[in-house]
A and B are shown apart, each in its own frame.
Chain A
Amino acid sequence: MACKMLSIRKLNSSGALCCALLAALLVAGCSGGERRVDSGTAAGVLHWGNASEPASLDPQIANGVPEQKILSALWEGLVGKHPVTLEPIPAGASHWQISDDRRTYRFHLRSDARWSNGEPVTAEDYRWAWWRALQPELGNSFATMLFPIVNAQAYWRGEIDDFSQVGVRVVDPLTLEVELSHPTGYFLQLLDMPTLYPLHRASIERHGAATARASRWSYPGNLVSNGPFQLAEWQINRRIVVAKNPHYWDAAAVALNQIIFYPTENTTTEERMFRAGQLHYSYDVPVNKMAYYASQRPAELVVAPYLGSYFYRFNTRRPELADPRVRRALARAIDRRQLTEQVLRAGQLPAYAMTPPNTAGYYPPASAEAQLSFDPAAARALLAEAGYPDGAGLGPIEILYNTQDEHRKVAVAIQQMWKQHLNVDATLQNQEWKVYLDTERRGDYQITRASWIGDYVDARNFLEIWLCDSDNNRTGWCDPQFDQLLLEQLPAATSQAERHRLLQSAEQRLLDGLPLLPIYTYTSKHLVHPDLNGYTANLLNQPLFKQLSLVRQPPALTP
């Protein structure tokens, strides 16, 4: 129909050939008007923007967020997470018992849990998978998630070579017992991470050594998984299709027939795909499109708090930044509210600490905001006290960030604030991602942009990167008391309240030392088609695919 609108009346002169060709191509190209989302909704096929081509679908090798999305459709851990509250919910295990000393967990597996080839899922499948996860040659960067288990870390380091000494025990085919080295409140959350998924040993060993990275066991036709969906198709850089797994124990409750994941690494293209009806869900929203969706199509824009912190690292080894008063002055001279409301404009929260507020009930010390809030006069006083009255003698200070428009905008705003309030000059330096990582790791910087996204909902996950010997610290800041709080006192805590008190003490020490400049707490932002039902944003930005469904909605009235 639209094609007919292109009628060519003047078929003369030089344009004629062009027009004829274009017309011919257009006629050949007209799609008949149906949008992919509409046919998808009718057929129960979800079209999902997924950011990038997955490196691997081996749950113990893949470590990116896009991979994790696909893996969570294919697999299921012992315990899942509620899609709204993130509280533990039964998954591979129907129920479990925790010992009084909170160190021993006994999981009772579902008797009707099946692999996608129909075989039963047993406790041994979990034990074997965890053994594999702890083989360094596999290159599993999330093996540390198993370290709360007795002797897991020692086994990983090669200090013991008998896996039976690690605290994982198969009691009977449907019972798995796990012993932790000390009470770990967030242990149940870890069971939902890809590294702790069960694996089907026979199908892996059929395609090579158990720990071979280059194995093809996780390819279509070979991959055996235990989740609501099974791998149907993988076309490199084009699409990954997962189809409903008929053997899944809860298959009756799975509404979708297929999910198609697209590697949409270009967010601008992705947004156009969404607008043209090619996607039900976008992985991200370009910053410059936020205002349009917020005002014109608010029902499709989903913005929610996200468990991640955006901050700057101070290189405390640099003489000009070695004085905490200088760092505090820089931190107090930036107006975070102005940054989030006028520069970022996607609901981000100004941050005055490392840990996002309400991380599983934990809040950073109440005094944090007062200590770091925007106060130019106090900032100038601190700077003068440190020997740089009116900024004299300090700077220029370089802010290093990885090349991305959003980071540049934040850096430019901070540059202006420092100039205006402290009379300190800052220069901006951007580097390509891996160059930036290398520069930061070598400590060849003054201030770098950084972020940390929580793996699980617990404040320790945010604080542990500031331990003296953490490879993620990178600032040269080291506080033995901070280490002692996290490494010695925290494991011995006997109640949630005590634990939170200790975490707050540690965070307070971190904010006193201030190797970082907290800026904001992330939000996740997605475009979601009205047909998609059952989608709820959560703090980990982790959907529960088995609960999603597609229901045709009457088209919204556009003004």
Chain B
Amino acid sequence: MSWALLQLIARRLATAAVLLVVVAAGTFALIHAAPGGPFSADRAVSAEVETALAAQYRLDQPPLLQFASYLGNALRGEFGPSFKYPGREVSELIAAGLPATLELALYALLLALVVGISVGALAASRPGTLRDRLPMGAALVGICLPAFVLGPLLVLVFGVYNEWLPVSGWGELAGDKLLPTVTLAAGYAAYIARLTRAGLREQLRQPYIVTARAKGLGGAAVILKHALRGALLPVVAYLGPACAGLIAGSFVVETIFQIPGIGRFYIQAAFNRDYTLILGLTLFFATLITLFNLLADLLALWLDPRQREAL
């Protein structure tokens, strides 16, 4: 690994650290500014209880002090106890929800890549024909159709009208991972298909492809052996945000399908004003997004010699 590359990584990590502190401060300020607290309820809580709880969770201290002690603990890897679920640590809740979220994101990413790249490649190989227009039209619909529409639609068709697949759950009933995966992957697959097609169309016009063709290489071989590597650069660049989006954005799918992932915790935490859980999850997501963007950049460097030289 070159010196320049190490420097780049170090610089990016330093920026990320600053960014995380800013995210923490911003989130802390926002959640404390939001009306209503973790213990407010329709049925008034007696003053004795309110005082006791505020003292226990240090809500009676000045906000700056609260934030400072939160940061100090977070640096030591302690994200505090959840307000809503007494006895549970934030890190414990994240650990409990993470496997399902990661698994869902991984399956969806694989499905999106396989479907997106193959559909994109097929479309690019015969531009302008029905084989191009049909899947690209479908991809446009795929991008436009949000998960909260597609999910229930799939559930109705495959789970309710025809009882082929379970309508909810994750790893409880056979086949229950299928519909959520498809729902989450659809938009990404569509986007990747369009990226692949555009990248491939551009590569196929390059002189080296003409050379390859002139040497007698067939259409499929040209695409698979030569053009695809260059054409996938935009797809790789998109992988970082896509991974982050798949993990952080899976809450809609998790809610529709009752999947016990961290996305659902995030929503519940916001509604419950579970301060520590909101903060912990926000920091967690922010870390993930930064990390994936860095990884995607490194992958692009590996794929693209021009970028490596520019370092």
Binding site for B on A (CB under 8 A): 2-3, 13-15, 17-18, 21-22, 25-26, 28-33, 35-36, 52-53, 55-56, 58, 61, 63, 136-141, 143-144, 156-158, 213-216, 218-219, 235-239, 262-266, 268-269, 272-273, 275-278, 432-435, 437-439, 441, 451, 470-472
Contact = CB atoms under 8 A, between A and B. Distances in A.
Given A144-B46, A269-B167, A434-B34, 6 more contacts: A14-B123, A15-B134, A141-B45, A143-B49, A265-B268, A278-B169
Given A14-B131, A136-B52, A139-B52, A273 B43 contact: no
A82 B176 CA distance: 39
B86 A269 contact: no
Contacts of A26: 164-165, 175, 178
Complex A-B, nearest 4 residue pairs according to Cβ-Cβ distance, in ascending order: A434-B36, A29-B175, A471-B44, A237-B260
A8 to B, nearest CB: 15
Interface residues of B, number: 71
Contacts of B258: 262-264, 266, 269, 273
Given A29-B174, A262-B258, A437 B41 contact: yes
Contact of B256 (A32, A218, A266, A434): A266
Nearest to A236: B96
Given A235-B260, A276-B160, A434-B273, A31 B168 contact: no
A542 to B, nearest CB: 17
A3 B114 CA distance: 23
B211 interface: no
Contact of A272 (B48, B52, B155): B155
A268 B84 CA distance: 24
A53 B268 contact: yes
B86 A31 contact: no
B206 interface: no
B307 interface: no
A206 B241 CA distance: 48
B118 to A, nearest CB: 5
A14 B160 contact: no
Contacts of B255: 265-266, 269
Contacts of A15: 134-135
A275 B273 contact: no
Contacts of A22: 182
B86 A214 contact: yes
Residue from A29, A235, A277 having most chain B Cβ neighbours under 10 A: A29
B115 interface: yes
Given A214-B87, A433-B271, A275 B160 contact: yes
B44 A63 contact: no
A29 B165 contact: yes
Nearest to B49: A139
Nearest to A35: B163
A358 B260 CA distance: 42
A269 B257 contact: yes
B56 interface: yes
Nearest to A142: B43
Contact of A136 (B48, B162, B257, B264): B48
Contacts of A137: 52, 56
B39 interface: yes
Contact of A219 (B40, B87, B155, B273): B87
A529 to B, nearest CB: 15
Contacts of A138: 52
B199 interface: no
B152 interface: yes
A175 to B, nearest CB: 31
B48 A157 contact: yes
B164 A2 contact: yes
A216 B52 contact: no
Contact of B97 (A21, A140, A237): A237
B159 interface: yes
A441 B163 CA distance: 48
Contacts of A277: 163
B134 A14 contact: yes
Given A17-B119, A236-B97, A238-B260, A136 B49 contact: yes
A484 B152 CA distance: 55
29 contacts: A26-B165, A26-B178, A30-B165, A31-B166, A31-B173, A31-B175, A36-B173, A52-B268, A56-B87, A136-B49, A137-B52, A141-B41, A144-B46, A215-B86, A235-B96, A235-B260, A236-B93, A236-B96, A236-B97, A237-B96, A238-B170, A238-B172, A272-B160, A276-B163, A433-B271, A434-B35, A434-B271, A441-B44, A472-B43
Interface string B266-310: 001001010000000000000000000000000000000000000
A433 B35 CA distance: 10
A213 B84 CA distance: 11
B115 A139 contact: no
Nearest to A211: B52
A2 B135 contact: no
A269 B115 contact: no
A498 B265 CA distance: 51
A141 B49 contact: yes
A278 B35 contact: no
Contacts of B106: none
Given A30-B175, A137-B52, A269-B258, A437 B42 contact: yes
Nearest to B273: A434
B48 A156 contact: yes
